[in-house]
Chains A and B, each alone.
Chain A
Amino acid sequence: MLAYIGRRIVGAIPMLIGVSIIGFALMHLAPGGPLAVYTLNPTITAQDIERIKTIFGLDQPVHIQYLKWATGMFSGNWGYTFFGGRPVLIVILERLPATLLLMGSALSIAILLGLSIGMIGASRRYSIWDYLATTGALVALSFPTFWFGLMAIFIFAVDLGWLPSGGMYELGEEGNIVDLLRHLILPTLVLALVITATYSRYARSAFLEVLHQDYMRTARAKGLRPRERLFRHAFPNAVKPLIALLGTDLPILFSGALVTESVFGWPGMGRLFVDALTMKEYPILMGLVMFTAFFVILGNLLADVAIALLDPRVRLS
C-alpha cells in the first residue's frame, strides 16, 4: 500500500509539470497581454509599457519565462501579482476558506441527497418515485447553473427578501454564524443542485447493479428485511464505485464553484479566478491552475486508496 502511494506521488510530479506547461502555454500564446490594462490609463505611454514589460520579464521568450516561474514555484515562491506586487500564494490562501466552505457544504448535501435519491430510485425501480427521481435529475442537470443562481437571487433575495443577495456576511457580523448561514444557503443550494443530480444518477446505477447480484437474493431468501438488506449488503458494495467518482468529479465541483461564486459574489477562489482573468494576472491564474490540479490529483489518489481499502479484491497496480 505504502509503495503504491509512493509511486503515485512520484507519478504526480510529471503530471503537475505537464499541467503547468499546458496552462502556461495557453495563457502566453494568446494575443494581448496583461499590460493591456495599463493602456486604459491615459498617463501611461507606449514606452512605459515596454519598460514595465521588461520589469515583469514579459519581453523574454516564453520558455525562459516558464523556466523562471517553474523554478520559483518548486522552491515555494509562487510569484508576485502584477498589480499589487503581493505574494500569489497569500492571495490565493486568503480566498481558500470561503471556497472550501462553499464546496464542502455543497458536497455534503449532494452526497447525502444524491445517495438517498439514488437508493430510493433503485430499490423502487419503475415506480413513480423512480420516474420522478430520474426525470428530475435530468431536468436539474439541464439548468444553466448561473441562470439558476440569478433566478434564485431574484426570487428569494430581491422579491421575497428572505435571504441576502450576495456576499459572505454583513459588515459588523463577522463572527455571527447565523448571518454566515443565511449567506451560505443560496449559493450552496445552487451549487449542490447539479452535483446532487449527477450523484443521484450514479447512485441509482450503482445500486441497481448491486441489487441484482446473487448475494442480494440470498439475503432475501435468508429472510432479512428490506432495510437490513439495503444497508448491510447493498450499501457498502454500491458505495465503492461512488467513492471513486467523488475523486474524479472534483474538477466539476471547482467549475461549479467558479460559476456560483461569481453569481453570488462569494469571495472565494472562483471569483479570484474571474477577476484575475479580466486583469490577465498570469501569476494568479497559474497559481490557481496548479492549486486545483494538485487537489484533483490528490482527490483521485485518495479515491483509489479508499477503494483498495474497502475492497480487498481490488489490486492496486
Chain B
Amino acid sequence: MSKMSRMGITRRDVLKGAAKGALLAATGTAGFAAPTIAQQNKDRIIMAMSQEPVQFNPLLYVNTGTENVPESCMFDALWDIDENGNFIPNLATAVPTRANGGISPDGLVWKVNLRRDVKWTDGQPFTARDVEFTYQTIVNPKVAVRSRGGFDSIKNFKVIDDYSVEMELARSYTPFVWAWQNMHIVPAHLLKGEADINTAPYNSQPIGTGPFMLKSRVAGSHMVYERNPNYHRGPAKTAQFIHKFVPDLLVMYEQIKTGEIDYLGLQGVPADRWVEATALPGLDFSRTPTPFVQFIYFNCGKPQFADPKVRKALYIAAEMQKSLDDVYFKTWARTLAYLHPTHWAYNHALKEETPNPELAVKMLDEAGWRLGADGIRAKDGVKLQFTMSTTAGNQARQGCQALFQQNWKKIGVAMEIKNMPASVVWGEYTTKSQFDTLLVAWEPTVGMDPDYTARCHSKQIPVKDGAGSNYVQYQNPEVDRLLELGVTQSEQEERKQTYAKIQQILLDEVPFAPQGGSIEGDLKKKGLIGVKPNQYVTSYSWNVYDWAWA
C-alpha cells in the first residue's frame, strides 16, 4: 500500500467537493502543518494514557497498565525487575539467591534483609512489620486482593527483627521471586486498625514509600504527583509528575504532536500511524513489548477439538502472519509460544508452519473429517462448526476473526463470530469452559516467569478441579511433569531447556494457537531521558524516579 493512496489523496481532495471545502482549502494546510511544540516546562513530566486508574491501593484489583502508574509512583516492592530481566533490589538490600545464601539449598527457606533508611511519606519508618502486614493482607480471605500468585506457597512467615524476615515455602518454587516483585508494600501502621481494607479511606488517600506523593486529583482528567524528598534511592529527578487521561487515542496522538503531553503511553500510537510516528520531529518512537500474547483458545473438552490433529490443522490453515501484517500493520511480533520472542525462555527452535491450507486439508481428511454436501466437514455426526468469541467492540480482534473465518471457510470449516461485552465473555463463559473458541490475549501467570502451570496443567482446570486457569481443559502428563520440574529448578539454563520442551509440545498439540505478541508504539519528547521500555512489567512508569529532562 503506497503512501500516495493514503496521504496523496489528502483531506483536501476529498473535502473539496463538500460545502466546507473552500474554507478548508484555505486553512487546511495551516491547521495541519508542522505541530508547534509548546514551551517546555522542565519541572514536570506529563504522561498520557487512555484509561484512568480508579484503584490506589496497590494490593487490590488492578487494571494492568493503568493502576500500575500510581503503584510505581507511590509505592515500592522488595525488588524490581529491569528491562534486561534482571532483578534489582529495592526495599530489600539484596535479591535472595542460592549463591548469596538468601535461599536455602533445598529452595524452601527464603531470607530477606531490608533497607534501614526507608521512610513512609508521613514520616514513619519502614520496617519488617510492614512486609509482614502486606503478606497477611494478601492471604487474608476477606480482602479482594488482586493476586495471590506465589504467596499461597508460603508455609511460614517469620519476622526475625525490625529489618529482616524469613519465609518458609511449602515446596521448592523458583518463580516465588516474582511474587514479591509484583506486590508492593503497604503501611502496617495506617492499615492495621482498619476493619475492612477493601473500603478503607486510605484507598483514596494512599501513603507509600515511593518516589512521588499524590498531590491532587481531578476525577476523569488527571492526577498530579510531587516528588518525595526523602526517597531512599535519592529524590526523583523531576519535581512533578502528571498522569493525564485522554480517552480517545487519536486525540492523545494529536496532543503529543502539539506538545501538550510529554509521553504517550497506554494504549500507544494507533498501529496504522506507526510509519508516520517514527518520523515525527522532536519525538522518540519506541516499540514497547507488552507481556500479552494473543491466542486462539480451543476448548479441548468439545468434540470438535478433542483431537490434537484437528487443532493443529486449524492452526496451520490460519494466516497468522498475514493477520499481524494487515490488522496490526506489522507492529506485533509473531510468536510461536506463549512468550514474546524476546523473552529469555523463548524457544527459538520452534518452526513457523502457517499458512499451509493444503496440509491442513490433508490432516483433516486423515483424521476422518470429510467434506459434507454443505461444504462443512463432519465426522461421526459432528460437524466442524463452532463459534469464536472475544470482547465486543475490539476492532482489531474482529479483523483477525474475519480473516480466520475466511481461512477456515476455504478448508470446509464453519466458524461463526459471536462476540459479547467483556463482562459476559470473560465471566463464566470462559472460566467454566463454556466456549468453543476464544480470541484472547494474556500474560503468563506469575509475573513474567515462563511458568505456565495455571494455564495448561491438567490439575488446573477450573470446571473440574475448582482451581487454576486452564480454561481450554488441556491434559498432557508429559507437560504436567515438565511444568512441575521447571518450578523447582534454580539455574536459568536448566529451566530454559525445560520450558523449551514445553513450548514444543504445546506447538504440536495446539491447545491454544499463538498468534502474536503485542507491541505498543510509545512516543516521547526527545528531551525526556531515562524512559526505558520494559517487557517484563506492565508498568510504563516502573523507573519513573529516573526520568528527567536533558
Contact = CB atoms under 8 A, between A and B. Distances in A.
- Is the A/B pair a real complex? yes
Interface of A: 31-49, 51-52, 55-56, 80-87, 90-91, 94-95, 98, 153, 155, 158-161, 165-172, 174, 262, 265-268, 271-272, 275, 278-280
Nearest to A52: B144
Nearest to A266: B220
Interface string B144-155: 101111000000
A44 B146 contact: yes
A166 to B, nearest CB: 5
A289 B18 CA distance: 42
Contacts of B444: 42
19 contacts: A39-B426, A39-B427, A40-B426, A42-B455, A44-B469, A45-B148, A45-B467, A55-B141, A86-B203, A86-B204, A90-B204, A95-B219, A158-B31, A159-B27, A165-B248, A166-B247, A265-B248, A266-B220, A272-B220
B110 interface: no
A90 to B, nearest CB: 7
Nearest to B56: A84
Interface residues of B, number: 72
B297 to A, nearest CB: 12
B20 A56 contact: no
B221 A85 contact: no
Contacts of B182: 43
Given A85-B199, A98-B220, A267-B218, A40 B56 contact: no
A165 B254 contact: yes
A45 B219 contact: no
Contact of A45 (B46, B57, B197, B468): B468
B174 to A, nearest CB: 17
B265 to A, nearest CB: 16
B452 to A, nearest CB: 10
A95 B54 CA distance: 14
B62 interface: yes
Contact of B60 (A31, A84, A165, A170): A84
Interface of B: 11, 20, 24, 27-28, 30-32, 41, 46, 52, 54-57, 60-64, 141-144, 146-149, 182, 197-200, 203-204, 218-222, 242, 244, 246-248, 251, 254, 260, 420-431, 442-446, 454-455, 462, 466-469
Contact of B28 (A91, A159, A278): A159
B431 A49 contact: yes
A83 B55 contact: yes
A265 to B, nearest CB: 5
B57 A85 contact: yes
B27 to A, nearest CB: 6
Contacts of A155: 20
Query: In the complex, which of the residues B62, B246, B421, B443 has the most CB atoms of chain A within 10 Å of its own CB atom?
Result: B421
Given A41-B61, A42-B444, A43-B147, 9 more contacts: A33-B423, A40-B64, A46-B469, A55-B142, A85-B60, A160-B27, A169-B221, A171-B46, A172-B41
Contacts of A165: 248, 251, 254
Contact of B462 (A45, A82, A85, A86): A45
B424 A36 contact: yes
Contact of B430 (A39, A45, A90, A169): A39
Query: In the complex, which of the residues B182, B423, B428, B462 has the most CB atoms of chain A within 10 Å of its own CB atom?
Result: B423
B246 A166 contact: yes
A165 B27 CA distance: 17
Contacts of A43: 146-149, 182, 445-446
Given A45-B467, A267-B220, A275-B52, A40 B422 contact: yes
A180 to B, nearest CB: 12
Nearest to B61: A83
A161 B36 CA distance: 12
Contacts of B427: 31-33, 35-36, 39
A80 to B, nearest CB: 4
Nearest to A165: B251
Nearest to B64: A41
Contact of A161 (B31, B251, B421, B425): B31
Contacts of B143: 55
B364 to A, nearest CB: 32
Nearest to A94: B219
A129 B504 CA distance: 76
Contacts of B11: 159
B248 A32 contact: no
Contact of B146 (A39, A41, A94, A153): A41
